[in-house]
Amino acid sequence: MNLENAKKIMLVTLKWIFICALTGIFSGSASAFFLVALEWVTHYREHNNWIIWLLPIGGLIIGLCYHYLGKTVVKGNNLLLEEYENPQKIIPLKMAPLVLIGTLITHLFGGSAGREGTAVQMGGAISDQFTGIFKLDNSDRKTLIILGICAGFASVFGTPLAGALFALEVLYFSKISYKSIPLSFLTGYIAYFTVEFWQVKHTRYNIPILPEMSFTNLFWVILASILFGLAAMLFSRSTHFWGALFSKTIAFPPLRPFIGGIILAVTIYFIGTTKYIGLGVPMIVDAFSNPNTSYDFLLKILFTGFTLGAGFKGGEVTPLFFVGATLGSALSIIVPLPIALLAGMGFVAVFSGATHTPIACTVMGMELFGIESGIFIGIACLAAYFSSGSVGIYHAQIVKGSKYRLYQKFKRKDIGLL
């Protein structure tokens, strides 16, 4: 290698390190602000429950903002996946403030949604702006989108390794450049430490007791994990169902969250509890020590699917954590495994099934609960992944491989029987 080539390689390396730093710092700072703001609006709602009656107005505001200002970014996470697979136009930066405001309104007035979608969209919109600044081609632009997804995920959950792996795995069947791998890990850690710098704390969980891995325990782990996979399938299909129903029955998009908000507010009033709205973090934490009722996870699926399907903004992942943790907690009544282990397994396994990312979810589980739980977490994520069907929460995600072929074979058999 001559000196000229060495200089070029050095300059390209420094450029990408600089881009990783910018993406991680800006996305991490955006996530830090978002987490603080989200905590504030959640605290305000919890101490002023009357505000839930304004949910229809909040929905109308979101609907009007996206209808008149955000038509190009209304697809959210799916837009990121589509632009990665088939690059067309740089993602408008307005995606970031629109999804931020929309999510805060959703949580302030009592919608059931998460936060990962917001952080990922902010990260993706921020990172993609460097395409023009650094005059990058479509191949490099794909790397930028991976870095944005990684930065958003790693910063909002405090899991840098899982953030990098999630960004790579969710796009696994879309031809990932090898250089994206080390760059995503670097970006994930920069985003994570940026949130730490702003002294924003993440929720921590604990699995204090781990049983031996015997054949009996393995049987129960796999059985519970299949149920987690089925819950993931139900969650994904519920979200798609409500979205399709609102689109089909209400022609004017801003009216969808308005009408949905009316239905949600009245429903919340009649059931007499607010534990199924918002993020539901207190319920998730409690699930690790106290058994949940058998229907908690079903109501969270219903509320979240309806909220997002109606057009409110936010993510799906924290509700997936809720569904998994409360289902695992409820199963502890009949499954002879520690309650915290079942809740922790469900926490990441339902997420694995709904996003087709078992590796990232396994690593996330070890980051959150400790590496000692890795064998249980890994089996749970893999079993849930294979039992969750071929439809996930992201329309635009490409799903191939053995799992996809297996479900296609079952579909063909069912058609043959008909």
- The DSSP code for 176 is -
Q: Domain residue spans in the chain?
A: 3-197, 215-405
Q: Do domains 3-197 and 215-405 have the same CATH topology?
A: yes
Q: Taking the model in full, what pTM does it have? A: 0.94
Q: What is the pLDDT of residue 407?
A: 58
Distances (CA, A) of 77 to 44, 324, 344: 28, 22, 26
pLDDT at 178 over 90: no
* Mean pLDDT within 91-97: 97
pLDDT at 418 over 80: no
Predicted confidence band of residue 335 (pLDDT cuts 50, 70, 90): very high
pLDDT at 417 over 50: no
Predicted confidence band of residue 181 (pLDDT cuts 50, 70, 90): very high
The one-letter code for the residue type at 254 is P
* Mean pLDDT within 372-391: 95
* pLDDT tens readout for residues 272-290: 999 999 999 999 999 999 9
Longest alpha-carbon distance in the chain: 75
Tokens of 199: 């002294």
Q: What is the pLDDT of residue 175?
A: 74
Please provide the size of the chain in residues: 418
Buried b (16+ CB within 10 A) or exposed e, 307-337: bbbbbbbbbbbbbbbbbbbbbbbbbbeebeb
CB 92 within 8 A of CB 108: no
Predicted confidence band of residue 235 (pLDDT cuts 50, 70, 90): very high
What CATH superfamily is the domain 3-197?
Answer: Clc chloride channel (1.10.3080.10)
Q: What is the pLDDT of residue 399?
A: 75
Mean pLDDT, the chain, rounded, equals 94
Other beta carbons within 10 Å of 89: 9
* pLDDT tens readout for residues 136-171: 999 899 999 999 999 999 999 999 999 999 999 998
Report d(CA 121, CA 31) in Å as an integer. 11
What CATH superfamily is the domain 215-405?
Answer: Clc chloride channel (1.10.3080.10)
Predicted confidence band of residue 415 (pLDDT cuts 50, 70, 90): very low
* Mean pLDDT within 366-371: 96
pLDDT at 396 over 90: no
pLDDT at 382 over 90: yes
